[in-house]
Amino acid sequence: MKTRKLGSDLEVSALGLGCMGMTAVYGPAADKQEMIKLIHAAHDRGITLFDTAEAYGPFANEELVGEALQPIRDQVVIATKFGFDIDPETGARGPGTNSRPEHIKLAVEKMLQRLRTDRIDLLYQHRVDPAVPIEDVAGAVKELIAAGKVKHFGLSEAGVQTIRRAHAVQPLAAVQSEYSLFWRGPELELLPLLKELDIGFVPFSPLGAGFLTGKIDENTQFDASDFRNNVPRFSPEARKANMALVEVVKAVATRKGATPAQVALAWLLAQAPGIVPIPGTTKLHRLEENLGAVDLELTSEDLGQIDQELSKFEVQGERLPEAVLKMTGL
């Protein structure tokens, strides 16, 4: 497995594994023991970065990841996230964000227990809290780093000024936001800033929540609990219109002897050396397919063709529900 660096010194596999969908969000939770096997299979194939969050469940995803990685803890990088108003004892979810320093420190203590570890390798603020200055958040994480409970600091879905201010207090190893051929918003301001400050970038939904695999069309029926039912971009009308994007990816995949998913991930890897996508899956064959992207070389001609074709096309539908978009800095 090829490796990349997030920030100045956090070395991880070129692809990570997003674990969110193993316990919720894309439908009912998968079988726990099967997911533990899948996480072990990912590590056996060279993946070292595993991404979770207290909000996934809440708590169930961290518990799964902690149990799965406990036997190989020193061989992996665990990334998790705080920032919502979740009661650390009961899991009851409040209405909004909570990044008060005392809440962060309490949340981290509970995370360490669920993850069965004595340190968190990469701790993200999940969403920016408008009620708490980002300097206070970064200061709290800095104290946790000094105490040895956290190794590296990250932000998720944060705007460029927030990133600058946080980085001035506690250097950031990584920023996590949505980025794919389906959503290229970070290219305008975020990617240039991360290059300037030497901060790594961890794109979530690198396959457009499954759309870029070519396995979804306007007739696809999602489980009633699948979050995509509430995403404007996944309305049947938007899916039908956005198939033009998938056809571009399919054409490149056919020429390269690859799959659309592999092309979409290889395109991300080609954008900058500090980009580490975290595609999620609950299926071993999809995991192996995704890993094939690491060795798929897209030439400058391939990349130019993709850009040229996509310049003719505008993705239909917002990437997230309106209420969620209001919580992001992008």
pLDDT higher than 90, residue 327: no
Tracing tokens 């209420």 back to the chain, one arrives at 323
CB atoms within 10 A of CB 329: 17
pLDDT in tens, 31-89: 999 999 999 999 999 999 999 999 999 999 999 999 999 999 999 999 999 999 999 88
Sheet containing strand 172-178, edge to edge, reads 17-18, 49-51, 77-82, 120-125, 150-156, 172-178, 200-204
* pLDDT above 70 coverage of the chain, percent: 100
CA distances from 122 to 49, 175, 193, 237 (A): 10, 10, 20, 39
pLDDT at 231: 94
Contact 83, 56 (CB under 8 A): no
Q: What is the pTM of this model?
A: 0.97
Q: For position 89, what pLDDT does the model report?
A: 84
Model confidence over 288-318: pLDDT tens digits? 999 999 999 999 999 999 999 999 989 999 9
CA distance 181 to 249: 9
Task: Give the model's pLDDT for residue 203.
Answer: 98
Task: Report angle CA 230, 233, 64 to the nearest 5 degrees.
Answer: 55
Lowest mean pLDDT among 81-95, 171-185, 251-265, 296-310: 81-95
Which tokens is 243 given?
């198939």
> Under CATH, which architecture does the 3-325 domain have?
Alpha-Beta Barrel (3.20)
The predicted pLDDT at position 197 comes to 98
pLDDT higher than threshold 90 for residue 151:
yes
Domain locations in the chain as residue ranges: 3-325
Q: Kindly list the catalytic residues.
A: 56
Beta bridge partners of 93: 86
Note the pLDDT of residue 325: 78
Residues listed for the chain: 330
Residue in this structure with the two tokens 């890897």, named with its chain if needed: 269
Q: How high is the pLDDT of residue 47?
A: 98
Find how far residue 165's CA is from the centre of its chain. Answer: 22
Mean pLDDT score, 2-29: 95
Residue 189: CB atoms within 10 A of its CB come to 14
Window from 55-64, 244-253, 263-272, 317-326 with minimum mean pLDDT: 317-326
Distance, in Å, from the CA atom of 281 to the CA atom of 276, rounded to the nearest integer, reads: 16
Instruction: Quote the tokens at residue 115.
Output: 């993850």
